[in-house]
Chain A
Amino acid sequence: MIGYILRRLVALGLTLLAAALVIFVVLEILPGDPAAVTLGLNAAPEALAALRTEMGLDKPAALRFFIWLGGLVTGDLGQSYTYRVPVLQLITERMAVTLPLALMAIALAMAIGIPLGMLAASRHGRLADAGVMAFAQAGLAIPNFWFGLLLVLVFAVGLGWLPAGGFPGWQAGIGVSLKALLMPALALALPQAAIIARVTRSSMLDTLQEDFVRTARAKGLSEGTTMRRHALRNALIPVVTILGLQFSVLIAGAIIIENVFALPGLGRLVFQAIAQHDLIVVKDLVMLFAGLAILINFAVELLYGLLDPRLRQA
């Protein structure tokens, strides 16, 4: 087992290194000088040269790669070209928006999707079932930025209940901040809720065929109690699996939603960094996302290895 883990660890290290190299090279061959972007059309050559030195762009590419790599290992992600603050600080600031947003979206998606799925399963083949399926179809088909705009028009412009966008910052108070996240979270949650409703419904229908459910019914339990106490728990296993898989989709969707609602999250940071040619931030963020994906993969592989001894020989 230890040998297996060691082998996988070496592979993990090599994969991360390869990812870093690819990211660096790809961004390196992009035309465009970050210093020129900062100083604009009228910049004097002397000022440009000074800024390039300040940004460390005058060093050869290979050296910059190793400086960057060394920084990644020691937790120093470098300094943003545009904001001139440590990238790590930027990422933590933005995480404080994106993470609560994603969690809120998941909570909303479950709160909407699971009851709807259960309702559809219990009314299988009837009107309520058809209604839920239609909702799920629409939820998947409607782009979430469009749904977001619709929410803004109704609840911000029309009714004036919620702010149209922006984020006051947690220091302004939890209530105000949660209020600012509500609509974007709802927009993000809609397609997730649709998926969850579908999965809950079909998994519930399967579970309801099981022997233990028949037993519960035979004991004389009401249909509702049977569903909640016995069927739901088992039916939720595939739902949880789907939720795990959907987490990365949520983060990707957040990029769009954060722009629609002008939220200062990680997604918006990626967007801005690309537009402003803040290559160091782009590099760090892409590496962060790639690293997360590689690590999750690694954890899954380890898990499989634990469960199935045959795989350890591979």
Chain B
Amino acid sequence: MTRRELLAGAGLAALAAQLPVVALAQAKDSVTIAQTLEPPTLDPTSGAAQAIREVTLQNIFEGLVKIDRTGKLQPCLAESWQIADDNVTYRFKLRQGAKFHDDTPFTSEQVKFSFERAVAADSTNAQRQLFTPIAEITTPDPATVVIKLKQPTANFLFGLAWGDAVIVAPATAANNKTNPVGTGPFKFVRWNRGDRLELARNDSYWGEKPALAKAVFRFMSDPQAQVAALRAGDVDAHTNLSAPEAVPQLKADPKLKVTIGGTEGETVLGINNAKPPFDNLKVRQAIAHALDRKTIALGVYGFDVNLIGSHFSPLHPAYVDLTGTYPYDPAKAKALLAEAGFPNGFNCTLKLPPPSYARRSGEIVAALLAQVGINAAIEPLEFPQWLERVFRNKDYDLSIIAHTEPLDIDIYARDGYYFQYKDPSFKELIAKIAVTLPEAERNELYKQAQRKLAQDAVNGFLFILPKITVANAALEGMWTDWPLPVTPLAELRWR
């Protein structure tokens, strides 16, 4: 008997026991949310782990601005802002009456402190480039912050919504890793490492009071354990299930609600553009023609997810569908390889990091490439080794990984980035985007950039990581999409 058959069998037995769980849920004013990874620390300004933001951002900590569930920028600790005609002076009007969880009043001083701390010499802020455009921060009065930039920076405000830009207080900043103190709608209560984190409603929150008094994050990495906990009613929701194969079975459960949403996670077959034969455009085009994205995504997930033809997420308004640039065509791929001087194909390696989407799609990609004569030997790597060998030392031919930072198309313009794509015109384009403030104009440039990457077949563009949200049918407010990976508890309520 396989695990799946077992699950199915016990599912029938479970149906009878499920009814009372729903009835009980209605009187609840607490929620238990499961997520796959545990945050290593609770300070979003101290590490890149997505789990830190998922738990703390918009719950414990807040920034001047925030991203809502549709990806739009909203005011948060800044009530409003004005950008002067010089395009470099930002004047923020701050929220009155906001307080930190230790009753320290929120003022412009902490904004200045937080941003200066992020670029200090000993700062370990993983996204310090968000703050490097800042020339000067002044605080004319406690309710006003004026930030002057060195040059116009189009995505400056957007960056301020990230977890790395939350506002912290000088007295508590150093302890935020283990005892976070923010201004958010929820307060830290307890963290049982390896298992759960407990939060309680912040009754002196400046904004609308959350409906729930208590929230618990549970951390479970085992896919079977996730499914069992959801079905047993141990947890009320999972933010992003790691067991796509369980989706049909969970969808059939009337007690649960399953949604498949999008994220900013562009999954790419990374190509070492500087290494022969991949420096040859024809070879990369051949790879692009050999990739049957639909089959790959279906093989990994068992249901349809968003496919991509360039490094851009469909969640963004500037997205263009470029999946047709090099349609799946093995005959064409073979012809291109022959033109490039490889009529019999060639051998190479495909280095894969541990996430299951990478390992699973790697198998299918290798099979598809083999059909056109490219024999890619799979090498599984642990993540630290992947970082060292592929990412840092560029010691690879092909690799698969999802890039989950929002709007990160600029990585293709970075010197020494592991794709080794060096194109001056693309660099120029990204530099232009960075200083173009009008949104419509900027979106046009984003479209050009997407097309350029697609045409140059820089990477094999595969699909967007889905967000598989499973929640108790009576729980409302879970985010379906992840324009930014967060789980705002204040938006949850029981029906």
Chain A residues proximal to chain B, CB less than 8 Å: 30-34, 36-44, 46-47, 50-51, 53-54, 82-85, 90, 93-94, 149-150, 152-154, 156-160, 163-169, 171, 259-265, 268-269, 272, 275-277
Contact = CB atoms under 8 A, between A and B. Distances in A.
B383 interface: yes
A261 B222 CA distance: 9
Given A33-B388, A158-B14, A169-B195, A50 B405 contact: no
A27 to B, nearest CB: 11
A164 B228 contact: yes
A14 to B, nearest CB: 32
B225 A165 contact: yes
B222 A260 contact: yes
Contacts of A44: 126-129
A268 B195 CA distance: 10
A83 B41 contact: yes
A84 B178 contact: yes
A247 B425 CA distance: 65
Interface in B167-194: 177-178, 190, 192-194
A277 B384 contact: yes
Contact of B193 (A32, A41, A90): A90
Nearest to A156: B232
B44 to A, nearest CB: 12
Interface residues of B, number: 60
Nearest to B9: A153
Contact of A39 (B6, B9, B124, B232): B124
A276 B408 contact: no
B234 A164 contact: yes
Give the residue among B123, B195, B405 with the most A Cβ atoms within 10 A. Answer: B195
Contacts of A42: 48, 126-127, 129, 405, 408, 411
Interface in B13-63: 13-14, 17, 21, 38, 40-41, 47-49
Nearest to B386: A32
Contacts of A166: 195-196, 218, 220, 229, 234
Given A38-B47, A41-B48, A84-B178, 9 more contacts: A47-B126, A153-B6, A164-B229, A165-B229, A169-B190, A259-B222, A260-B224, A263-B194, A264-B195
Contact of A41 (B11, B178, B354, B405): B405
B481 to A, nearest CB: 21
B389 interface: yes
A83 B387 CA distance: 20
A100 to B, nearest CB: 14
Interface string B392-422: 1000000000010100100100000000000
A187 B344 CA distance: 54
A37 B408 contact: no
Contacts of B47: 38-40
Given A32-B382, A160-B232, A82 B14 contact: no
Given A32-B382, A37-B383, A50-B123, A158 B17 contact: yes
B228 A165 contact: yes
B265 to A, nearest CB: 12
20 contacts: A36-B384, A36-B392, A39-B47, A42-B129, A42-B411, A82-B40, A83-B41, A90-B193, A152-B225, A152-B228, A157-B11, A157-B228, A158-B14, A158-B17, A159-B17, A163-B232, A165-B220, A166-B218, A169-B196, A275-B354
Most buried by B among A46, A53, A169, A259: A46
Contacts of A152: 224-225, 228, 232
A47 B127 CA distance: 9
B234 A153 contact: no
A84 B7 CA distance: 38
A40 B49 contact: yes
Nearest to B408: A42
B225 A262 contact: yes
A48 B453 CA distance: 29
B134 to A, nearest CB: 14
A38 B49 contact: yes
B355 to A, nearest CB: 11
Contacts of B17: 158-160
Nearest to A40: B48
Contact of B48 (A31, A39, A260): A39
A153 B383 contact: no
B388 A157 contact: no
Contacts of B385: 30-32
B495 interface: no
B224 A31 contact: no
Contacts of A262: 195, 218-222, 225, 229
A83 B195 contact: no
Contacts of A157: 10-11, 13-14, 228, 231-232
Given A46-B128, A164-B229, A32 B6 contact: no
B40 A47 contact: no
Contacts of A276: 40
A51 B192 CA distance: 25
B40 A83 contact: yes
Given A164-B229, A169-B195, A264-B194, A50 B124 contact: yes
Nearest to A159: B17
B40, B219, B222: residue with the most chain A Cβ atoms closer than 10 Å: B40
Contact of B403 (A31, A41, A50, A165): A41
A169 B192 contact: yes
B6 A149 contact: yes
A93 B385 CA distance: 29
B233 interface: yes
Contacts of B389: 31
Contacts of A158: 10, 13-14, 17
Nearest to A265: B194
A273 to B, nearest CB: 11
A277 B41 contact: no
Interface in B344-390: 354, 382-385, 387-389
Given A90-B193, A164-B228, A259-B222, A47 B387 contact: no
Contacts of B195: 166-169, 262-264
A283 B192 CA distance: 23
B72 interface: no
A153 B193 contact: no
B121 interface: yes
A180 to B, nearest CB: 10
Given A41-B48, A166-B195, A277 B229 contact: no
Contacts of A53: 122
A197 B271 CA distance: 58
Nearest to A36: B387
A114 to B, nearest CB: 31
Interface centre among A36, A54, A85 (most CB of B within 10 A): A36
A3 B475 CA distance: 72
